[in-house]
Amino acid sequence: MLDSEPFNPESAAPGSASSETASSETSGSETASPETAAAVPTEVLAAFGLAEVIPVRLAGGQGTAWLAGPVVLKPADLDRADRWNAHVYDTLAGPGFRVPRPVRADTGDWIAHGWMAWRRVSGAPADWSGVSPRWPELVAGSRALHAALAAVPVPRWRVTQDIPWTVGDQVAWGERDPEPALGPAAGSIADQVRRLLTALRPVDLPDQLIHADLTGNVLFADGQPPAFIDFSPLCRPVALPLAVVAVDALQWSGARPEVLDYLADEPEFDQLLARALIYRLVTDVILRAGTPGVELAARTGQPVTELVLARLASRSRR
């Protein structure tokens, strides 16, 4: 559901500063490095009411997140987008899931001196190798999260930014010419993407606001619903995030194809798998261009491409 009216983050009324984290590297589930924070400016700590706290860097991710007491600090990437993300997560509620809550600075803004703050959430990412026992929790939690997100209007600018992830998404949905991304730098990924594109068929599924990057951004804790961190918004069918986790798990975590049985009830799921894989492969080409990572992605992606194409061919023969 795209909203033609732009969201003005500055107009949101200041709310409570009680909240939780927002990134796999900011979850607090990672081991904190003993290194203390010259990297977090003192004015940032003061702005978020943490002047007496000594932050420590959190391991994992891009190494830019810092734990400061119950709060995780991280540099803002794109101010307009980050403010909108914070607004969505600040107001999102519903049973069956947890989300990190943003913390307002002393100015009432979500950003202070180029940094954001989120309350830490408990839990740890799943191990998706083999057939993870976390799949039922993920599916139920994703459905609950996206039921709550369904009513949130999405400003067009938020999902059409010219960044690697939206480029990959638009290629996967036939909204962008793939060829500029599939030049020599793409290596053998180009052939995989072209074969997948040829196998696509139209899907009659409604679009809505989704969290498109769940793979390392869901924290599981015994006795609590999953926590969905590091919000990565797109406007696509509701089952696409589960398809992205599936192709990620197959490509990078050694998951077995049987995990797809957990997702068999999702409408048009094989078509969504193909689009999820195109999305990831094209994004990999852009992010890893000129590095050995492109060929690594091609090697790990090849068996997943063959699996998805075989599923699509089998379905077309029915």
Please tell me the predicted confidence (pLDDT) of residue 39: 84
Residue where a domain terminates, one of 90, 119, 148: 119
Clarify whether residues 215 and 188 are in a common domain: yes
Domain that residue 6 falls in? 2-119
Q: Are residues 174 and 274 in the same domain?
A: yes
**Structure token pair of residue 136:** 């039922």
Residue-level pLDDT at 26 = 39
Residues 142 and 291 reside in one and the same domain: yes
Kindly state whether residues 105 and 254 are assigned to the same domain: no
pLDDT category of residue 42 using cuts at 50, 70 and 90: very high
pLDDT at 35 over 60: no
User: Which of 217, 228, 220, 204 has the alpha carbon at shortest distance from 148?
Assistant: 228
| 25 & 96 share domain | yes
* 297, 167: one domain: yes
Q: Is the pLDDT of residue 203 over 90?
A: yes
Is residue 69 situated within a structural domain? yes
- Residues 251-255: contacts with CB under 8 Å, at least 24 apart: 251/277, 251/280, 251/297, 251/300, 251/301, 251/304, 252/300, 253/127, 253/128, 253/129, 254/129, 254/130, 255/128, 255/129, 255/130, 255/131, 255/132
Q: Are 77 and 231 in contact (CB under 8 A)?
A: no
- Per 3-state DSSP, what percentage of the chain is helix, strand, and coil (rounded to 5)? 40, 15, 45
CA pair distance 25, 18, nearest whole angstrom: 20
Last residue of a domain, one of 119, 153, 184: 119
The Cα 81–Cα 155 span in angstroms is 10
The confidence score (pLDDT) of residue 2 equals 57
CB 100 within 8 A of CB 74: no
* Rounded Cα distance, 99 and 224, in Å: 12
The reply to whether 32 falls in a domain is yes
CATH, residue 211: 3.90.1200
Mark whether 152 and 108 lie in a shared domain.
Answer: no
Q: Answer whether residue 128 is part of any domain.
A: no
Whole-structure pTM value: 0.87
Is 125 a domain residue? no
Are 209 and 289 in a shared domain? yes
pLDDT in tens, 248-280: 999 999 999 999 999 999 999 999 999 999 999
Residue 89's closest CA among 155, 26, 15, 163? 15
Do 245 and 215 contact (CB within 8 A), yes or no?
Answer: yes
Helix, strand or coil for residue 209? Answer: strand
Domain count, the chain: 2
Identify whether residues 144 and 25 lie together within a single domain. Answer: no
φ and ψ at residue 51, rounded to 5 degrees: -60, -30
Mean pLDDT of 52-79: 90
Among 17-21, 154-158, 218-222, 280-284, the least confident range: 17-21
